[in-house]
Each structure stands twice: as C-alpha cells, then as structure tokens.
C-alpha cells in the first residue's frame, strides 16, 4: 500500500507543481481544486474578473491530458447548447446525436449566474448523475467529469441566483483572491514574454485521475472522525443563527473531500484537521443565516467557527 501511495502522491505533486507554475501564490486554492477533482466533486469559483480562475482550470486540463470545453453563460444560452441536440439525417432517415460541450472531462461554465434558471437546471443531471438525457436517450459523460463554474460576486444586473438545489451539488466553493504585491510583481515579470500556460506540458493522463479517485475511496476513515464530520453538519442544523443547515449530501461531500485531501497530504487515513480545514469550503455555500444574524453582522465563516467550538474534537484515533 505504501509503494502505491507514494506513486499516487508523486503524480499529484507533479500536477500541483504544474498548476503552481501558472498560478503564483495560490497553493491552498490549488490544493482545494485537486482535492475536489480526486473526490469526484464540482467546484464553484466566486471572484472578481482577472484573478486567474480560467487559467487555473485550463492548466489543470492541460496537465492531465483531459478534454476541456468552455461555456460562456448568458441569458440567451439554451439547454441544448450545453447538452447537445439530435439532428435528423434525411439520407439515413435517423436522428443523430450531436454532443454539446458538456461531453468532456473538464467543463468550465463561465459566469454561470448569467444563464437562465432553465439552462442552469440542464446542468443538474450531469453534475449528480454523470449523464445527460436528450430526446429520451441517456448519454454517459466521459470519465472523469469535473465541472468548474465561475460567478462574479459584484455584478447583479442580468444575473440569476443559483438555487439552493444547484448550489448543493457543488462540492466546494472558494475564491482565488488578489495576489500580494510581491506575487503580482513576479506574475508581471513571468508573463512579459510568454504565458506560462503556453509552455505547460502534461504530467499525467485521465487514467491516472480515475485511479486516484479510486485510491481516495480506500483512504481509511476512523469512526470517531466520521462522527466528528457528522456532528459538525448536524450542529449547523441546530445553530440558532442558521436558517438552513448542511444537508446529508453535504456530510457525504465533506467526508469524500477529506479522504481526497488526506491522499494529497501523503496519508492513507483522515484526521480531524482535514475535516476542519475543508468544512468552510464544503459547507459555506450550503448554509443560509437567519435574517437577525445577518443584521447583527454575522457571516457564514464566523458562524461556522462558532459551530466548531461547540463540537468536540476526537483525540484518540486508531491510526
């Protein structure tokens, strides 16, 4: 197991190094993206334009030799523009399915909140079931399939808020944020001649990712740590400042992400710190605060910190 683990870790380290050569100063965000990929989850990136969201996603696709497609969401985008459409072939007198951009390994849905709710709903089946249905026929998506959506948090004109049901299907939500001054200077210098993405070479393939996803499922989860994750999620449903707490799907996502993160940290077992580190990114977008809590200046991160303080951390583990 140790030899296999070392081989898997080396693959992850090469992918991580590839991404860090294109996206400077964002090691934690890169780890979160890799964690979601290994756990088989989808990611929502909410940030202002120009912070490197698209470059990060393109770098990942290029690093694993995966198929990459990009959808620019806007109000006139139709569901069939995403899933594909059946076209009648007069010579053979049959309908031929023309797949849409969703038939790929990595899908970037740029500014997803600009698409109408009908178009957003076309993504639900793909995100959860890993297949699409067109004209009554089911088509499986490629393996692996990872959807990364972006949305602009400061522009509300012409946007359609994602419903809770769709937000719950994203394993994680996080922001890139602005780089610090030193990193921004390095960024300018490194791209003065060519873009690092142009020089990026693949260091893995999709078969490696499928194997890593299977390996993550085999990571050991002690009952006490599983109980810690469950306790955190249940506490969000009982906290007086929270109107809508984390769903059972959120609990499962948190555990799956923790297993993947443990693998990324070169461990074959999960520790409570994995749960605590990932919880804000896995649970934050699934929680709705009470109106009174928001009026008093409460935020989801601050309320989650209160939740952590009320849940006992397991201290004795088998591993």
- CATH number of the domain within which 81 lies: 3.40.50.300
Shared domain for 162 and 67, answered yes or no, is yes
Q: Are 169 and 42 in contact (CB under 8 A)?
A: yes
Residue 116: its pLDDT value, please?
83
Task: Flag whether 197 is in a domain.
Answer: no
Residues of the chain with pLDDT under 70: 1-5, 154-160, 192, 316-319
Shared domain for 33 and 151, answered yes or no, is yes
- How far is Cα 42 from Cα 126, in angstroms, rounded to an integer? 11
Shared domain for 68 and 165, answered yes or no, is yes
What's the longest Cα–Cα distance across the chain?
70
Of 212, 229, 246, which one is at a domain's C-terminal end? 212
Kindly report the number of other CB atoms within 10 A of residue 54's CB atom: 17
Smallest Cα–Cα separation from 314: which of 225, 219, 222? 225
Residue 163: its pLDDT value, please?
74
Of 177, 212, 247, which one is at a domain's C-terminal end? 212
Please give the full DSSP string across 61-73, using - where no structure is assigned.
HHHTT--EEEEE-
- How far is Cα 13 from Cα 212, in angstroms, rounded to an integer? 12
Shared domain for 131 and 279, answered yes or no, is no
Residue 8: its pLDDT value, please?
80
Strands 137-140 and 131-134 turn out to be: antiparallel
b (16+ CB within 10 A) / e for 105-121: bbbbbbbbbbbbeebbe
Shared domain for 208 and 231, answered yes or no, is no
Shared domain for 136 and 238, answered yes or no, is no
- Residue 261's CATH number: 1.10.8.80
Task: Flag whether 191 is in a domain.
Answer: no
| 181 three-state secondary structure | helix
Task: Flag whether 43 is in a domain.
Answer: yes
Q: Are 115 and 83 in contact (CB under 8 A)?
A: no
Q: Are 295 and 284 in contact (CB under 8 A)?
A: no
Residue 195: its pLDDT value, please?
77
Q: Where are the alpha helices (DSSP H) in 109-264?
A: 117-129, 164-167, 181-190, 206-217, 223-238, 248-264
Question: Which structural domain, as residue segments, surrounds residue 271?
Answer: 219-310
- How far is Cα 68 from Cα 20, in angstroms, rounded to an integer? 19
Helix (H) or strand (E) holding 291: helix 291-295
Q: Which residues are within 8 A (CB) of 112 and not within 5 positions of it... i.e. 6 or more apart?
A: 44, 73, 120, 123, 149, 150, 151, 162
- How far is Cα 319 from Cα 115, in angstroms, rounded to an integer? 47
What length is written for the chain? Answer: 319
Shared domain for 176 and 223, answered yes or no, is no
Provide the number of structural domains found in the chain.
2
Task: Flag whether 193 is in a domain.
Answer: no
- How far is Cα 203 from Cα 59, in angstroms, rounded to an integer? 11
Of 178, 212, 246, which one is at a domain's C-terminal end? 212
Shared domain for 120 and 170, answered yes or no, is yes
Task: Flag whether 316 is in a domain.
Answer: no
Task: Flag whether 317 is in a domain.
Answer: no
Task: Flag whether 36 is in a domain.
Answer: yes
Residue 319: its pLDDT value, please?
47
Shared domain for 62 and 24, answered yes or no, is yes
Shared domain for 160 and 49, answered yes or no, is yes
Q: What is the pLDDT of residues 281-292, one digit of tens each?
A: 999 999 999 988
Shared domain for 49 and 171, answered yes or no, is yes
Task: Flag whether 198 is in a domain.
Answer: no
- How far is Cα 173 from Cα 43, in angstroms, rounded to an integer? 6
Smallest Cα–Cα separation from 64: which of 140, 144, 130, 174? 144
Shared domain for 245 and 290, answered yes or no, is yes
Q: Are 236 and 283 in contact (CB under 8 A)?
A: yes
- How far is Cα 150 from Cα 168, in angstroms, rounded to an integer? 15
What's the start-to-end Cα distance of the chain, in Å? 15
């Amino acid at each position: 197991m140790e030899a296999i683990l070392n081989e898997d870790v080396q693959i992850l380290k090469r992918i991580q190094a590839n991404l860090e050569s294109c996206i400077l100063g964002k090691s934690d965000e890169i780890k979160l993206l890799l964690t979601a990929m290994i756990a088989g989850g989808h990611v929502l990136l909410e940030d202002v334009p120009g912070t490197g969201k698209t470059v990060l996603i393109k770098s990942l696709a290029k690093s694993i030799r995966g198929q990459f497609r990009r959808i620019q969401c806007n109000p006139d985008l139709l569901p069939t523009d995403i899933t594909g459409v059946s076209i009648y072939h007069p010579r053979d007198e049959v309908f031929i399915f023309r797949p849409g951009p969703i038939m790929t390994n990595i899908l970037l849905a740029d500014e997803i909140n600009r698409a109408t709710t009908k178009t957003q709903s076309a993504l639900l089946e793909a995100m959860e079931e890993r297949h699409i249905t067109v004209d009554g026929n089911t088509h499986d998506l490629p393996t692996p399939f990872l959807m990364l959506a972006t949305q602009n948090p400061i522009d509300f004109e012409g946007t359609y808020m994602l419903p809770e049901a769709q937000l719950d299907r994203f394993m994680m939500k996080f922001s890139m944020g602005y780089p610090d001054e030193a990193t921004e200077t390095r960024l300018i210098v490194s791209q003065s001649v060519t873009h690092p993405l142009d020089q990026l070479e693949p260091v893995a393939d999709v078969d490696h990712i499928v194997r890593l996803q299977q390996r993550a499922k085999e990571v050991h989860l002690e009952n006490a740590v599983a109980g810690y994750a469950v306790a955190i999620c249940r506490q969000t449903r009982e906290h007086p400042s929270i109107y809508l707490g984390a769903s059972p799907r959120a609990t499962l996502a948190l555990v799956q992400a923790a297993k993947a993160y443990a693998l990324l940290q070169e461990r074959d077992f999960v520790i409570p710190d994995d749960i605590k580190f990932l919880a804000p990114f896995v649970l934050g977008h699934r929680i709705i605060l009470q109106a009174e809590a928001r009026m008093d200046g409460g935020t989801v991160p601050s309320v989650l910190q209160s939740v952590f303080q009320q849940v006992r951390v397991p201290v004795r583990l088998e591993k």
